[in-house]
Structures are given as C-alpha cells and as structure tokens.
Amino acid sequence: MSDKLPKPAELLKIDYKPPAKSWEDPTIDFEKKKGTYCYSAAPKNLKYLGLPNPREWQPYEKDWKLPPNWKEIILEGMKDRLSKFRSFKLFMDICVRCGACADKCHFFAGSGDPKNMPVLRAELLRSVYRRYFTTSGKLLGRLAGARDLTEDVLKEWFYYFYQCTECRRCSIYCPYGIDTAEITMMARELMTLVGVNINWVLEPVANCHRTGNHLGIQPHAFRDNVEFAAGDLADITGITVETPINKKGAEVLFIVPSADYFGSPHYYGFLGYLALLHEVGLDYTFSAYASEGGNFGIFTSHEMMKRLNAKIYAEAKRLKVKWILGGECGHMWRVIHQYMDTMNGPADFLEEPVSPITGTKFENAKSTKMVHISEFTADLIKNGKLKLDPSRNDHWKITYHDSCNIARGLGLFEEPRYIIKNVANYFYEMPENTIRERTFCCGSGSGLGTDENMEMRLRGGFPRANAVKHVHERYGVNFLACMCAIDKATLTPLMEYWVPEVQVGAVHELVGNALVMKGESERKTDLRGQPLIKREKEAEASV
C-alpha cells in the first residue's frame, strides 16, 4: 500500500474545478480508484449478526451479487425511514442548494471531487427520493433533479456514503441545519438492507456483539491487558494500582473504548486513567462483558447501534453500580449523549451521578447517568483534589484537536482545555476556523480507518494536518492531544505523513504525567517511557 501512496506534494495537486459533465451520470471506476474506498464485509460477519445477503464480493468486481429485488428492498426501506425520521424527510425536501456547505467538507478540501461537496453527497440520495417519492420527480424526471435508482447509482452511493465520516462539520454552516451525517446514516442503513457493507465496520460490530469489544478480545485476554497496564504503571510510578473487573457493588462502572487498553498511543491515556482513579480512590469497576465504549453500530444502522449499546445499561444493572463513567472517545459519546437513554433507558436503576471525591452533582447527566471522564477530571482539578506537576509535560508543546462528535454532538469544549492548561505549561490553539465547532475530522472516522482506504484518509485528514502543521511551524507544537479513540489510531499515520514531528496522545496521558501520586517513586520518564526534561536538566546541572 505505502509504496503506491503519492508524495504529499503530489497529493496536493488538487483540482477544485468541477468537470463539464453533469453529476447526474454515475460512473465509478473502482479498479482505478483503489486506495480511496474500503473493502466489502466478510460474509461470516453478516451471518453472525443476522444481516441480509452475506456473500463473497468486492467493490471492484463487476457483479455485486445483489438480491434480484434489491431495488424494491431499498425503496421500501426508504419509505419506511421517511415515515420514522422527520430529519430524513425534511432534509430530502428543503435544501435550496445555496452552496454554503460546498467547501466545508474535509474530503472535498483534500480531493476536489465535486461529489464530496456535502450538498451533492446528499443529492445522490435526494435525486432518487424525488424520482420515487415526489410528484414533480415522477412527472418531470431529470428536469426536476430526479434519477432512476440503478446499480450504478447504488455503487456511487457506496463510494460516497463510505467517503463521509459523519463529522457534521458541513451542518453547522447550513442555514437549515441539514445534517449530512443523518443522510449518510440513512444511506448506509439502506445499503445494509441489500448487503452492501464494509468490513472495517462490520467486523468490529460482530466482534463487539460476541466478545463485548470491537477488537474481539476475550475475557481472559481483557484481564491480561488491564493487569499488564497496571504493571507498566507500577514500573513508572512505583505504585501498584488495583484494576477491578466485573466487581459487583462498585460505585461506578467505567467504560472505555477497547483501543484504550489495546492500542497505541491510547494505552498511555489508559495508564493515566488508572493512575488518576487510584489516586482519588474511586470505587469503580471495569466490565469484561461491556468492555467497549465505542459503537460501530452507529455506522451500520440505528438498530445495530441499539443492540451494541444495550450492554452498557444491562451491565450497570447487573453489577449494581450507582452510575457510569466513560473514557475518551468520540462517536461513543455521540451514542451515549444523543441515543443511549432514548434507546435503552430509562436508567431508573441508577442514581444521579455525584462525584464521591468532591461531592459535585453532575446535573447535566442526571437522566442518562453517565459522566464523561473530562467532566469528572475537570471537577477534581477545580476542587483542588489533585496534586499536579505540569513541568512533567514540559517536553510537549501541546495543541488540542476537538473530535467531531465531542464538538458538534456534545458541545464539550472547555473541560479538556481546562485540564490541559492545568497539567501542562505549553498549550497552543490551532487557527479558529479549524477548532471547536469548526473542527476538522481526522479523515478516518465512521469506520473508514482501514489501510486499503489510505489515500482517501490522507486526503480527508489534510485540513486537520494542515492546521497542526501551522502550529508546529509557528510554536514548535509536537503533541496533538485528543479525546477520541479513532483519532488516536488514525491521526498517528496522518501526522507521520503530513507533519512527522508531531505525536498524538490522550488528554489523560498528560494528566497521568503530571499527577503526583501519594508515595510514588521519583518519575524518571513520562508514561511513554521517554525521559523527562526536568530530569535531563538536573542531570546536566549535576555534571
């Protein structure tokens, strides 16, 4: 893969001028476009989940082996969803094609492909909607912007709706709040009805359904991983922390994305959690059954999202905890914040979350009963419950990347910034058009973070990388902090490609570095095992 990747300068030869040909004629040459799409879902995953039309196929093959009545299935599915989702029906009808969204998509900025303009991405679906569900479309056809649903149209859907990361950046610029994420979610649901899925989404879903986490880690390995992390932490801090799993009657159930205990650089943030929760003495437990905060179900269908999400409340009930704490993750938090209570609540068996350390009531989580770790930690710092030595992060010049879902789904902007400013001395914001609600996606969200899609990921991640490069050149930024598991996994190769001097890491990695633990041995390294600047300086001075 990597030897086929164009160099950055080549990749940036982007032509934003739309072609002369109308967009209404679909043709995707999948053979030529390798590197810009994901491969199909393996039949075993569809079978395991009970999804329709499991079979061997690939997008670059001519025959997609669709069921003979695929068209009816999709149109029936559209009809059903139009009656269930006001968002869908409205967003099909009220766009005026003002074009405000056109240059807001990271995939458009990085590729120049006009169908990555959010308005056109939506028109791919809208044109079919008009043809079959509106009078003018039925009568006037193309003149009314209507298109027949053909196999080529379906293939185009596949290409472009798996080239949208559901980041919602375009929607904040839309005068009607039309949300492309919502449209993409509908399109993916429709494609799922006829077995047109990608493996990078459905394998994690199948794993999560079975083992409890996306990576398919079984309970014995889960325990090994968590205990291994405690061992690493002991090596660095000299303190052995407890890592309770499936502990009944604990006060808090702690749910993290599985990458936190399995992937790098997530892992250093996981060490940070362990140190923090030990230090404040929180009575908590992990669960081996609900060992995943992330939810690739949301990238498949609402039903699949609900199936996976149900485990969190079920496990909280079984373990008789009072409330739930959630780790750093993006789409996980969109699901928890905007869907969980509605889908699988009410959580009347839990209590309104109160921090046992500060006594703070988390009023904003009183119904869902799940608190974001950054809310929890910010409250600890504000109440002076943590002893912090920010100079232990002096080797990092930090910038913060707002993850899409955290930004535009929760509006959680200040908590992480407050934490970073308290645990580190060097913090620099990226340009204002690229942070907070205007933040740019990593380019690999919503299940697109697979290697065969690398060229598109690098293109989509370009606007984010470009802003990082700016603060790197200006302030010497070398650490990109974020609170999203997909970010940590995919910003890492993105930085390697565009700004190789910058490392990616968790906010709670910085917390763990700065946290002065009672009885700890003198820290020689940070959580990554890198020597601390202060130590180096002292060593120099003593020579």
Residues 93-112 that bind another protein (CB under 8 A): 93-100, 102-104, 109
Other CB atoms within 10 Å distance of the CB of residue 430: 25
Residues 27-66 that bind another protein (CB under 8 A): 50
Among 5, 42, 75, 172, which residue interacts with another protein (rule: CB under 8 A)?
A: 172
Which residue stretch of 31-39, 60-68, 330-338, 517-525 sits at the interface with another protein (rule: CB under 8 A)?
330-338
- 230 HSE (CA, 13 A, CB side): 14
- The least distance separating another protein from the CB of residue 125, rounded to whole angstroms, comes to 14
Q: Can you tell me the distance from the alpha carbon of 208 to that of 448, in angstroms, rounded to the nearest whole number? A: 17
Segment interacting with another protein (CB under 8 A) among 191-199, 408-416, 508-516, 517-525: 408-416
Sheet strand arrangement including 503-506: 398-401, 479-482, 503-506
Which of 57, 268, 362, 426 binds another protein (CB under 8 A)? It is 362
132 binds another protein (CB under 8 A): no
Is 177 a binding residue for another protein by CB under 8 A? The answer is yes
**CA 109 centroid distance within chain:** 20
| Residue 245 binds to another protein (criterion: CB under 8 A) | yes
70 within 8 A of 77, measured Cβ to Cβ: no
Q: Cβ 471 to another protein, closest distance in Å?
A: 13
Contact 251, 284 (CB under 8 A): yes
Q: Inter-axis angle of helices 118-133 and 70-84, to 10 degrees?
A: 100
119 forms part of the interface with another protein (CB under 8 A) = yes
Number of residues that bind another protein (CB under 8 A): 117
In this structure, are residues 209 and 48 in contact, taking their beta carbons and an 8 Å threshold? yes
Report the C-alpha dihedral over residues 60, 301, 102, 108, rounded to 10 degrees.
-40
Our finding on whether 410 is near another protein (CB under 8 A) is yes
How many angstroms separate the CA atoms of 512 and 390, rounded? 10
Element of type H or E holding 506: strand 503-506
Which window, 29-37, 62-70, 149-157, 463-471, contacts another protein (CB under 8 A)? Answer: 463-471
| Residue with Cβ nearer another protein (75 or 310) | 310
- Which of 174, 456, 489, 499 binds another protein (CB under 8 A)? It is 174
Task: Give 175 or 231: the residue with its C-beta nearer to another protein.
Answer: 175
CB of 128 to another protein, least distance (A): 14
Neighbours of 489 (CB within 10 A): 19
87 part of the interface to another protein, by CB under 8 A: yes
Question: Does residue 390 belong to the site contacting another protein (CB under 8 A)?
Answer: no
Task: Pick out residues in 486-525 that bind another protein (CB under 8 A).
Answer: none
Q: Are 286 and 279 in contact (CB under 8 A)?
A: no
**3-class DSSP state of 314:** helix
User: In the range 430-449, which residues lie near another protein by CB under 8 A?
Assistant: 431, 433-434, 437-438
State how far the Cα of 319 lies from the Cα of 301, in Å rounded to an integer.
28
Residue from 186, 467, 485, 517 touching another protein (CB under 8 A): that is: 467
